[in-house]
Structure 1
Amino acid sequence: MWPSAGAKLAGRAVPVTVAGGDNLGIHETIPTLQPGDVLVVNGQAATHRALIGELIAGRAMAQGCVGFVLDASVRDAVDLEQMRFPVFARGTTPAGPYRNGPFVGGVAAAVGTVVVHPGDLVLGDDDGVAIVPRVRAAEILVKAEAKHAAETKQRAEIGF
């Protein structure tokens, strides 16, 4: 899975909730993805089965998807890194998924302790993933720019 050093991710959330170890909902959602989307999956924190691998990632990339955030495991980690397709997940496993359902898409999904709504902003880098609620994006952008300016000033004062 990538990220290793340098991975970055920014896009619109497309949340889906699946049964632990089951990726039917991911298969059903991939064809609906638009350029700039990030598939965000509540996989019930299950790590016994990988929900995605390089083939699903390749299909998503072909749709314009810019990455995945999975509360679950993945496989084909080296391939994902070579593809430079950002995937943030709980871990890796060689075990493949079930494809039985059920799943729910098009509505909010919890990933860890964060509720992700369709269209929320998903930002990821070496430090992890942040979700910015769509309804607060403009407000948070102003605050983030002010924080960045203050830190830039501090760096200059420190001498780096």
Structure 2
Amino acid sequence: MNPSKTYDAALLEQARKLGTSTLYEASGIFTSSVDPLIRTVWPGASVAGPAYPLECSPGDNLSIHIAMERVPRGSVLVISTGSFVAGYWGEVLTVAAEAAGVAGLVIDGGVRDIAALTARRFPVFTRGISMRGTIKASAPSVGEPISFTGTPVAAGDLVVADDDGVLIIPATRVEFTLTQGQARADKEATMMEALTKGQSTLELMGLTSWRNA
């Protein structure tokens, strides 16, 4: 996929508002949800944008520094480290990312300088937190397709992340997933209105046969 792939602001806002749980169910791609241990650093963080994937060697963040000169504005960095938790990312790279127009970070390794990341409200989703620094000696891949905790990621795929987790939607499935996601959200809104009027979930979901089970 072309790393210059972009999505218009309205689509990204729709994806962010629909959220990962709704879009995951709508996507029909059950490998699109990454490892649930990849969590937000600060509550309420959310982001939607085209993926820019890269791979770091364990304990080495050179690929990230290279990516900062190549990443298209508006992208979400998706960084595989082999799940090695160290401080690959901190306040310095956050400032660099903001200047480069990076929308957010998803990493299966670790980050540090949590107070600064929280204060800057930069969306970060990570496996862990570690004060341990990294070396800069190798760069396995930058901008090339990767497997992120078992989920395929190519440049231009749509990343949506929030308090519920991180979702990767293949670029070819974005339009379908958002259409299905909006329909699902509309249906749930109707259901919740009915619930406030006294109907039960058994009734609304056609499960009344279980009342006498």
Instruction: Give the shorter-chain TM-score range.
Output: over 0.9
Alignment match, 2:190 = 153
Following superposition, the deviation at residue 98 of structure 1 comes to 1.1
* CA RMSD, 1 decimal: 1.4
Secondary structure at 1:97 match in 2:
coil
Alignment match, 2:34 = none
Which one has a bigger Cα radius of gyration? 2
Deviation per residue, 1:68-127 (Å, 9 max, x gap) = 000101111111011100110000010111111132112111111211110000001111
Instruction: Give yes or no for the alignment of 1:67 onto 2:67.
Output: no
Whether the 8 Å contact between 1:2 and 1:81 is mirrored in structure 2 is no
CA distance in 2, matches of 1:143, 1:2: 26
Alignment match, 1:50 = 87
CA distance in 1, matches of 2:115, 2:71: 24
Pick the structure with more helix per residue.
2
1:20 to 58, 66, 82: 58
TM-score with structure 2 length normalisation? 0.72
Pick the structure with more strand per residue.
1
Instruction: Give yes or no for the alignment of 1:143 onto 2:180.
Output: yes
Evaluate the alpha carbon distance shift between residue 81 and residue 2 of structure 1 in structure 2; reply closer, same or farther with a 3 A threshold.
farther
TM-score with structure 1 length normalisation? 0.95
CA distance in 1, matches of 2:76, 2:119: 19
2:164 to 127, 139, 143: 127
CA distance in 1, matches of 2:121, 2:73: 16
CA distance in 2, matches of 1:75, 1:110: 24
Following superposition, the deviation at residue 18 of structure 1 comes to 1.2
Which runs of 5 or more residues in structure 1 are unaligned?
A: none
Which runs of 5 or more residues in structure 2 are unaligned?
A: 1-38, 198-213
Alignment match, 2:135 = 98
Percent sequence identity over aligned pairs: 33
1:102-113 map, 5 Å: 102-113=139-150
Q: Which amino acid aligns with 1:122?
A: V
